[in-house]
Amino acid sequence: MAKAALVRNQAEEVNALQDTIYVIGGKWKLPIINSICNGNKRFREIERSIPGITTRMLSRELKEMEMNKLIKRTVYPDSPVLVEYESTPYCKTFGNIILAMIEWGKEHKKYIQEEA
């Protein structure tokens, strides 16, 4: 009985974990979300805020994330066209994950430096 419940929860949790990995997997989605949530709105601004990303990857990921309703893209067709990206409320639900990962990365760096 207790065992059955345990097994069942495990299966449910693996699935939830795999779903999450599916949605935010890859090298760039979380850094992009983080950047936009930090207030970066313009394409080049976001690009500059993420070390190593190329315009191509940023463009592709933004498109995909817009389709998945994670971000909103607004075009202001004034004389020089202006484009702005914003995070949606849904996007902000990744906050805890991102915070946990930033925390881990900082601790990891300390750990590595202590070892060396």
Residues that bind DNA (CB under 7 A): 26-28, 42-45, 52-57, 59-60, 62-63, 73, 79-83
Where b means 16+ CB within 10 Å and e means fewer, 7-40 reads eeeeeeeeeeeeeeeeebeeebbbbbbbbbbeeb
The partner in contact with residue 60, picked from DNA, a copy of itself, none with C-beta cut-offs of 5 to 8 angstroms by kind, is DNA
Only one of the segments 45-53, 59-67, 77-85 lies at the binding site for a copy of itself (rule: CB under 8 A); that segment is 45-53
Kindly list the distances between the CA atom of residue 104 and the CA atoms of 66, 98, 108, in Å, as whole numbers in the listed order.
28, 10, 6
The partner in contact with residue 106, picked from a copy of itself, DNA, none with C-beta cut-offs of 5 to 8 angstroms by kind, is a copy of itself
Q: Which of 19, 44, 64, 73 binds a copy of itself (CB under 8 A)?
A: 19
